[in-house]
Chains A and B, each alone.
Chain A
Amino acid sequence: MSNTCLEFKNLTLGYHGHAAIHHLSGEVQRGSLTAVVGANGSGKSTLMKGIAGILKPISGTCVTRYQRLAYLSQQSEIDRTFPARVIDLVSLGYWQKRGLLGRLTSRDRAGLSGCLGAVGLTGFEKRPLDSLSGGQMQRALFARTMLQDADLILLDEPFNAVDARTIADLMKVIKGWVSEGRTVLCVLHDHALVREHFLQTLLIARNPVAWGATAEVMTFENLRRARSFQEAWDEQAGWCDENTEQPGQPHVHRDHLPYQHKVVGHV
């Protein structure tokens, strides 16, 4: 099997013709741990949705090679008033393994308790969802992601509202995944955490700013460039018909004329 897990080829993702991820190219190696960093609206979550296949590319491609995907989204559509218990929510993580009709085995149940323990929610099995705090909910969702036993794991701000001690515990879990050969992409805002734990970093500001070893990416100059991009959509922005990021590559829009998209002024 190829050692590449993800391959972006001039990938542009967006909404209503406005680019949110603009001309991204590159590869993610199997078993790597990559932090995705950028300001609000820089396209981090959009990239996650694109990889998960929830959002179709405007142009370019995202080639994925994985057996099973786990995607912990930033904004869940969870209905917290639904009469379910923590165990009902977390056991959804077995869906890919057990499907619609399969019963949970006693080993599954043991695994579930193990994961709840790992996120510090032992004893919460029967608690109704509407009684959880924001951070506890996030930890329950992390436990569900653990149960999915996926080889490609996308985490979109997994430490939202999570306290420092739990973050340390969850980082250990993430590193355990990587040592097992799983590929992890993690959207983060905490630069200290990124520098401490993540070998690879992708810094984006709609356009990719830098991608590579964390120490080389998270420089003052790169971060300054990533901060100063135009966040708002611009209806006056011209249609993108020049590939300024990768000169020398054949331009995709000529092949996909209907997929024209707008690009706001470059920094």
Chain B
Amino acid sequence: MFEDLIGPFLHYGFMQRALLGSLVLSVSCAPVGVFLMLRRMSLTGDAMAHAILPGAAVSFVLFGFQIIPMTIGGLIVGLLVALGSGLVSRFTVQKEDASMAAFYLISLAVGVLLVSWKGSSVDLMHVLFGSVLALNDAALTLIAAVAVITFLALAIFWRALVAECLDPLFLRSVSRIGTPVHLIFLTLVVLNLVGGFQALGTLLSVGLMMLPAAASRFWTNEVRAMCAIAIIIAAFSVLGGLLLSYHASLPSGPAIILTAGVIYALSALAGRRGMLSSALMSRRHKTA
């Protein structure tokens, strides 16, 4: 039993690297996911993940499958989409979900065209789904850097982020920080997706961001606690997913996200604020 749980990580370097990279990624992604969820932008992560595809594709066409150029390409296009949709929604009546949808669809179409023009469908699968078992030093460094930037930014802008979620109109009446904070936050989303890109691919890196965050909502009503719980759930998903993929010879990315999905389903069912607890609500009550 013990050997089954620990063994793979002791004996194989690639498993160690996979574990390290995806754990750091969990710590960084999960709090970003919590804020996405609280701002009702849960699907924005998904849209952004599609949006960074053309950036990665351009670099792929130019440089082949190399992590640094593909990351930089994805980052640039992701920021362009985030900025574009953010600006359209701030300065017109269009809400951000609509402008984001428009920008990411344009971006996605360009991306698929580019990949099919130069690459094969096998390469496309790699871009879409990544491979956590092939993390090299460059990818690990990138993930660590993203985590550090994310934590610094969250620590500095925490109060503004909460205020912008809670009462944006009030924040606008006392400070001009609202718009910059929103854009910084979108940048963090892009950074984390790009960080998860090599490990999980563009599509599945959203999973590590959103599923633990969504699950954490069933356990607490406090933002800090929510972030902590989301990180723990993400870390468990990574551990469970890697073991699952090792022992059952399954692809690692989907195994990790599926584990997170199972934890989400359990939380929705049995969490402190989940379905069972509201169904079994006691009829006893206090007088005041």
Chain A positions near chain B (C-beta within 8 angstroms): 52, 54, 69, 71, 73, 76-79, 82-84, 88-89, 92, 95-96, 100-101, 128, 144, 148
A92-B170 contact, Cβ under 8 Å, with A79-B165, A100-B177: yes
B175: A residues at CB distance < 8 A: 95-96
Q: Which of B110-118, B153-161, B240-248, B259-267 contacts A (4 or more CB under 8 A)?
A: B153-161
Please tell me if the beta carbons of A100 and B38 are within 8 angstroms of each other in the complex: no
Please tell me if the beta carbons of B173 and A76 are within 8 angstroms of each other in the complex: no
Please tell me if the beta carbons of B169 and A92 are within 8 angstroms of each other in the complex: no
A54-B173 contact, Cβ under 8 Å, with A79-B165, A88-B162, A100-B159: yes
Please tell me if the beta carbons of A100 and B166 are within 8 angstroms of each other in the complex: no
In angstroms, Cα B170 to Cα A89, docked, is 10
B157: A residues at CB distance < 8 A: 100
What size tier do the contact residues of chain B reach? 20 to 34
Please tell me if the beta carbons of B160 and A83 are within 8 angstroms of each other in the complex: no
A79-B174 contact, Cβ under 8 Å, with A100-B160, A101-B156: no
Please tell me if the beta carbons of B169 and A83 are within 8 angstroms of each other in the complex: no
A84-B223 contact, Cβ under 8 Å, with A79-B165, A92-B163, A100-B157: yes
B171: A residues at CB distance < 8 A: 92, 95
- Interface flag for B119 (CB, 8 Å): no
- Interface flag for B226 (CB, 8 Å): yes
Pick 15 A–B contacts, CB within 8 A, sort by A: A52-B173, A73-B170, A78-B167, A79-B165, A83-B38, A83-B222, A84-B162, A84-B223, A95-B171, A95-B174, A100-B159, A100-B177, A101-B159, A144-B170, A148-B174
Please tell me if the beta carbons of A95 and B165 are within 8 angstroms of each other in the complex: no
Distance (Å) between the CB of B49 and the closest chain A CB? 25
In angstroms, Cα B177 to Cα A101, docked, is 12
- Interface flag for B172 (CB, 8 Å): yes
- Interface flag for B221 (CB, 8 Å): yes
A95-B163 contact, Cβ under 8 Å, with A82-B38, A128-B221: yes
| Seed contacts A83-B223, A96-B174, A100-B177; 6 additional CB < 8 Å A-B pairs | A54-B173, A78-B170, A82-B166, A83-B38, A83-B221, A84-B162
Chain B positions near chain A (C-beta within 8 angstroms): 38, 156-157, 159-160, 162-163, 165-175, 177, 220-223, 226
Please tell me if the beta carbons of A78 and B166 are within 8 angstroms of each other in the complex: yes
Please tell me if the beta carbons of B169 and A88 are within 8 angstroms of each other in the complex: no
Please tell me if the beta carbons of B168 and A77 are within 8 angstroms of each other in the complex: yes
Q: How many A-B residue pairs have CB under 8 A?
A: 60
B156: A residues at CB distance < 8 A: 100-101
Chain A residue nearest to B157 in the complex (CB): A100
A82-B163 contact, Cβ under 8 Å, with A76-B170, A100-B157, A100-B177: no
Chain A residue nearest to B159 in the complex (CB): A100
Chain A residue nearest to B39 in the complex (CB): A79
In angstroms, Cα B173 to Cα A148, docked, is 11
Most buried by B among A52, A76, A100: A100
Please tell me if the beta carbons of A76 and B167 are within 8 angstroms of each other in the complex: yes
Most buried by A among B157, B168, B170, B220: B170
Please tell me if the beta carbons of B177 and A92 are within 8 angstroms of each other in the complex: no
Please tell me if the beta carbons of A82 and B174 are within 8 angstroms of each other in the complex: no
Please tell me if the beta carbons of A88 and B160 are within 8 angstroms of each other in the complex: no
Contact with B166, one of A54, A71, A89, A96 (Cβ below 8 angstroms): A89
B165: A residues at CB distance < 8 A: 79, 82
Please tell me if the beta carbons of A79 and B166 are within 8 angstroms of each other in the complex: yes
Chain B residue nearest to A144 in the complex (CB): B170
Contact with A84, one of B166, B173, B174, B220 (Cβ below 8 angstroms): B166
Distance (Å) between the CB of B161 and the closest chain A CB? 10
In angstroms, Cα B174 to Cα A71, docked, is 9
A84: B residues at CB distance < 8 A: 162, 166, 223
In angstroms, Cα B220 to Cα A144, docked, is 25
Distance (Å) between the CB of B139 and the closest chain A CB? 33
A144: B residues at CB distance < 8 A: 170
A76: B residues at CB distance < 8 A: 167, 169-170
Distance (Å) between the CB of A79 and the closest chain B CB? 6
A78: B residues at CB distance < 8 A: 166-167, 170
